Amino acid sequence: VHRENAQKHIAVFAFPFATHAVPLLALVQKLSESAPDVNFSFFNTAQSNQSMFTKGNGFERIEPRSVENGLPEGFRIGRNPHEPVEYFLKATPGNYRSAVAESGLTFDGLITDAFYWFAKEMAEEMRVPWVPYFTAGPRALLAHVDTDNIRARMGINGPEDETLEFLPGFSAIRSGDLPEGTVSGVDSPFATLLQKMGQMLPHASAVAMNSFEEIDPIVVQALKSRLPNLLNIGPFILKSPPPSSSDIHGCLKWLDQRPMSSVTYIGFGSVITPPPHELKALAEALEECEFPFLWSFRGNVEEMLPEGFLERTKEKGLIVPWVPQLKVLAHPSVGVFVTHCGWNSVNESIIGGVPMICRAFFGEQKLNQRTVEAVWEFGVAIEGGKFTKNGAMEALKLILSSEKGKLMREKIGVLKKLAFEAMDTDGSSTANFNFLVEFITKL
Ligand code: U2F
């Protein structure tokens, strides 16, 4: 078939949990703008698609298509945020295979969340290229690609403080910092998924990721030697910022009235709520330190925070269910970010030039935390890994009112500049994005 000038069609497989599908759709939108001859089918659960395909803009050549979510009938979301993920993974890859078959379409390429190692096999059957998109950072990716190597060197469930001298750029990383499933918790379905991903990625046509080359040059170099066409195209949020209308709680105005670098911003991403005793400890620390704070809080504030806290801190603090985080972190009044170290949050903190206090929970968050603290040195892990009143107070004072804190701000400022340069018209991330556009245009 002579395909020149013909419309091409790419199938996209999104992972419908945490902050995965949003950045993938943002990438597809920008690809679609730059490659008008390409149509996209965005395969994802109906729920996740509904939350994203709300406004007509920019979706002309992107068709949302539903895959089964695998939930048993009558399933109600409980306390464990990982439960729906486990059901979903049981239904995968069958749900994607049947959705593709039901669409009756023929595709010219596959772009998928990198978690979907099975897409390599599907792409082979379809005789099309596979481009996975990894939504976290280069260190996590290297740990996944080298999982078999790391296990061969360190064994499984070994001492947590052993460092990974043998892996480029990892001498400050300890076994206990590695993503779950690398050398511990290796029997879970998710660990298997990550291990297989690491094994399959070297066979992709190109691997895109939401990061920039200059962020971690030694690690990026090691990845380039292991993966074909590694394309760091981020921080992609700079190319595709969220709509500016989203400050419904007036956070930015509130920040306008606070002194420079004085505010503690607290937010734990889209999945996690810290346990009640830790929330209380953090609240007590904020109250005692008297630094102003802005808190993106999921759940019932009155029930989960100490009695009377809201009333006592109403002059100092603003607690809301959602903030425009990118803008908040870019606001000059924000002095520190208390974070779970999700990759998007780390990126946004770098873009804002804001040092971090890290309380990692799951996945690759501990690795991000360790990198922030011991490699980039623009943040601290919370003492003992959990919030206590004293630990939180120490960390807040260190960053907001010590010379060390100032130095951290300078250090993150250096990466901030590199991030903006990478996304500039002649930057590395822009060149990588253009490569991807050309790649899909020539399919
Ligand atoms: C998973 O991370 P999360 O979704 O829990 O957290 P982030 O990667 O930090 O992304 C949260 C996003 O939600 C936005 C914020 C980030 O873009 O700006 N947000 C907001 O705008 N307003 C709010 O009040 C609160 C959040 C996973 F848990 C991590 O381990 C992975 O690194 C990550 C990426 O794969 O996905």
**Cβ of 343 below 6 Å from ligand 1:** yes
Give residue 243's pLDDT: 77
Q: Alpha-carbon Rg of the chain, whole angstroms? A: 22
Provide the residue type at 8 as one letter.
Answer: K
**Cβ of 326 below 6 Å from ligand 1:** yes
Substitution site in 115, 270, 301, 362 for ligand 1 pocket (most atoms within 8 Å of beta carbon): 270
Residue pair 367/179 in contact by the 8 Å Cβ criterion: yes
Query: CB neighbours (10 Å) of residue 341?
Result: 30
Q: How do residues 143-160 score in pLDDT, each as one tens digit?
A: 999 999 999 999 999 999
Residue pair 138/37 in contact by the 8 Å Cβ criterion: no
Query: CB neighbours (10 Å) of residue 409?
Result: 18
* pTM, 2 dp: 0.97
Q: Collect the ranges in the chain with pLDDT lower than 70.
A: 1-5, 55-57
**Cβ of 371 below 6 Å from ligand 1:** no
> For residue 312, is it left (φ>0), alpha (ψ between -120 and 50) or beta?
alpha
Give residue 5's pLDDT: 54
Instruction: Please give the biggest Cα pair distance in the chain.
Output: 72
Per the annotation, the verdict on 148 as an active-site residue is: no
Residue pair 338/282 in contact by the 8 Å Cβ criterion: yes
**Cβ of 23 below 6 Å from ligand 1:** no
**Cβ of 211 below 6 Å from ligand 1:** no
**Cβ of 199 below 6 Å from ligand 1:** no
| C-alpha of residue 344 to centroid of ligand 1, in Å | 5
CA torsion, ordered 396, 363, 144, 358, to nearest 10 deg: 0
Q: What are phi and psi of 391, to 5 degrees?
A: -60, -45
**Cβ of 20 below 6 Å from ligand 1:** yes
Provide the residue type at 361 as one letter.
Answer: F
| Residue of 113, 146, 177, 216 marked catalytic | 113
Least Cα distance to 325 among 304, 355, 294, 368 occurs for 294
**Which atom of ligand 1 is closest in space to residue 344's alpha carbon?**
8
Substitution site in 266, 345, 348, 368 for ligand 1 pocket (most atoms within 8 Å of beta carbon): 345
Per the annotation, the verdict on 256 as an active-site residue is: no
Substitution site in 343, 346, 362, 366 for ligand 1 pocket (most atoms within 8 Å of beta carbon): 343
Least Cα distance to 65 among 50, 81, 85, 75 occurs for 50
Residue pair 396/211 in contact by the 8 Å Cβ criterion: no
Query: ipTM, 2 decimals?
Result: 0.99
Residue pair 137/364 in contact by the 8 Å Cβ criterion: yes
Give residue 56's pLDDT: 64
